[in-house]
Structure formats: C-alpha cells, structure tokens
A = this chain, B = another copy of it.
C-alpha cells in the first residue's frame, strides 16, 4: 500500500463517520460525500482511488461496501489492545468513553503511580501500580498506550512504553513528547485549544477598544 499523508488518513476517518450517519440510501455520490466533509468531489475521488476502484460511474459508491473498505484501510476491522497510564480525571473520562470500544479499542489495563489509586476497581478492571507497566505491556500484548499523566511525568512514561516495544501512543499530557521514528504519536490537548480561543477573544476585545471609538 502506498504511504499516504496524515491529512488523507484524517479525511478517510471523516468519510467513514459521514457514511455511518448517512440517511440518503444505499449509495452516495462523491459530491454528497464531499459536501458533508467540506471538501471537493475531486478530492474525495482522489482519496478513494489510492486504495483501488470503488463506485460505479453515475451510480456513486455503495454505502455498505465503502464503509467496509474504509474500516479495513483504517485498521478498524481489528481489535486493538489498549493500556491507559494515568487514573486521574482525564483517565477516568477516557475509560468511560464507550465509543472507543465500538471502534475496536479495548482498554485492557490501567496504571497509576499514586498508591491510593492502585487497587481501585473500574468496571472490573483493577488500577495497577506503575511498576507493573513493562511486565503487563508484554503479557497483555498491548498495541496502543494512552498517556494521561501530568506533563512532567509524560516523557518518561513514553520512553518506558517505547522501550517495551509499543508502537502507537495517544498523548493527553499537555506537553511536547518525543518518540523515535517508527512510533506513531498523536496528541489531544484541550487546554491548548481553549487558550487559543481565549487568545482570539482577548485580542479581538483589545482591537475593538483601540479601533472603534464608541
């Protein structure tokens, strides 16, 4: 398979989500898909052509067939074994996020370095001590690690996880993380997004005050 860009993978995710919610019938045109995705029909056709020939000229794409193909491309036909490091507020919210499971992401193990949290039962999953991390990553054959620890602890957790052979990390710690080539890293940072909004608002107000007397 050709190497494709992160933005293409992001659009494929979006197409899949649109198909899931599509109420228009058994087929969908590239124009409809493009409209819902905020892109062009030419872009949709180009993205999908990377993976072979889909759809029939004039008839559009079969919704179930395209759904199946996209799920396969995105690795969603498989089940992924996930470990969560950090049993704080964000970790708890993520553990309770049921859509993970419906998409094939199964949290197998939860870790925390806080002795008062170790031993807690979360729906049958026991919070384990940080020292067990390497052993459990191996015995549970973990594919993906979600990092939800405070920022100063995040890089050292990631280093241990990478050394243990994990190749995919989703980081929620509000800090910059480095991983070696060959390890996939994604970051989710709500605080940074909110601060981007407050920056925009604060500046707009400042400009309003300066620019528009009265």
Contacts and interface: CB of A to CB of B under 8 A. Distances in A.
Interface of A: 1, 6, 9-10, 12-14, 16-18, 21, 36-39, 73-76, 78, 80, 89-90, 93, 96-100, 103-105, 143-144, 150-152, 167-170, 174-176, 178, 182, 184, 186-188, 190-204, 206
Contact of A167 (B1, B150, B187, B204): B204
A174 B17 contact: yes
Nearest to A198: B75
Copies in the complex: 2
From A74, A78, A100, A192, residue with most partner B Cβ within 10 Å: A192
Nearest to A173: B17
A204 B206 CA distance: 49
B14 A178 contact: no
